[in-house]
Amino acid sequence: MNQDTIFAGVDVGASATKVALIDAGRRLLASDVRKTGVSFEACARESMDAALAACGVSLHNLAGVYATGYGRHNVSFAQATRTEIACHSRAAHHFFPRQITVVDVGGQDNKIIHVDAQGLRKNFKMNRKCAAGTGAFLEEVAQRIDVPIEQMDSLARQAEHVVHMGSFCTVFTKTEILAHLRAGEKVPEIVAGLIESVVKRILEMDPLSGEVVISGGVVAHNPVLAEMLAGHLRHPVQILPNAQLAGAFGAALFAAENQSGDS
């Protein structure tokens, strides 16, 4: 395959739409991340256009496009779709080609995927209907304490202790925060407690055996989450390179494999 051949993955997620362009050597060439709007198709196109512009190529130059994420079936310019479970596990196995447990903390759901040494999924779990303990939880409660979402990581690192929350339910937690503020707790300690709530939600989903790799936008912006998870598990947790792009990157890998006949 020509090394100039370019493949794309589009991940239309609940919170953000991501595009990754890769070459035949599976190297990331360009990417785009933007908030998912009300039109999945338009957002995917805008995101693709931005990534293509960064790479200096056009859509017709691409050798393959695969779509993933909640809006995957709305991406009319994609050749095929794969679920986000498939794409996150594919991307994770690309960087960690051995038996791993993939944890994806997304905008609306958490996924835990056990992948064997050959990259095949052994089993997976998603959270229930409720988005408690996911990225949406952090976004909602950050607003309640007037903390810009991008500052949560640095605030959590300033915490002298963690204010343990009794719940990962957004509604209950908002009320609980009021009680903690009344009791004199400071924002950094509360923020640390909120991120710990997401960790607790992950831990109740699965025993998380073996080597754990974490992906998704939440950990990309809050790597402290991986450190907290590692603390609870008492072993290291790896963050996937370009963690927020993992779904899009995995979709691009599927596009490349389809072209080369690997899949």
Partner 1 sequence: MNTERKKPVTFKKINATNKMKEIMELHFRELDEAARTKSRKIAWCTSVGPAELLRAAGFLVYFPENHGAMLGSTRMATDLIPLANALGYSPDICSYLTSDIGSYIKGESPISKAYPGISGPPRPDVLVYNTNQCRDVQDWYYFYGREFKVPVIGIETHRGVGDITKAHVDSISAQIEALLPKLEEISGKKLDYEELKRVVGLSRQCTDLWKEVLRIAANIPSPLTFFDGTIQMGPAVVLRGEQRAVDYYRLLLAELEQRVKDGVAAVDNERFRLYWEGMPIWGKLRELSTQFAELNTCVLASTYCSSWVFPALDPDDPFDSMARAYIELLIVRNEAYKERYFDAEIDLYKIDGMIFHDSKTCPNNSNNRYGMPERLSKKYDMPTLVLHGDLNDLRCYSEEQARTNIEAFIEQLAEKKGR
Positions touching partner 1 (CB under 8 A) are 65, 70, 75-86, 109, 120-121, 123-126, 128-129
Q: Name the minimum Å distance from CB 104 to partner 1.
A: 12
What minimum distance in Å lies between the beta carbon of 15 and partner 1? 14
Q: Which is nearer to partner 1, 98 or 125 (CB)?
A: 125
- Report the C-alpha gap between 9 and 245 in whole angstroms: 9
Alpha helices (runs of H) in 19-134, residue ranges in sequence order: 40-55, 84-95
Least CB distance to partner 1 at residue 80 (A) = 4
* Nearer Cβ to partner 1 (20/165): 20
For 78, which DSSP code?
-
CB of 77 to partner 1, least distance (A): 5
Residue located via tokens 């899949």:
263
Bridge partners of residue 214, in order along the sequence: 103, 239
The distance of closest approach from Cβ of residue 75 to partner 1 in the complex, given in angstroms and rounded to an integer, is: 8
Name which of 193 and 247 has its Cβ closer to partner 1: 247
The tokens of 146 are what? 């007037």
- Amino acid letter, residue 44: A
Can you give 184-215 as a three-state secondary structure string? CCCHHHHHHHHHHHHHHHHHHHCCCCCCEEEE
C-beta of 40 vs 249, nearer to partner 1: 40
Side by side, which strands form the sheet with 6-12? 28-35, 16-23, 6-12, 62-68, 80-81
Q: Which is nearer to partner 1, 115 or 219 (CB)?
A: 115
Query: φ and ψ at 218, to 5 degrees?
Result: -65, -45
In the bound complex, what is the minimum distance in angstroms from residue 202's beta carbon to partner 1? Answer: 17
**Pick from 217, 202, 223: which is nearest to 133 by CA?**
202
Tokens of 154: 């640095």
- Nearest residue (CB) to partner 1, 83 versus 260: 83
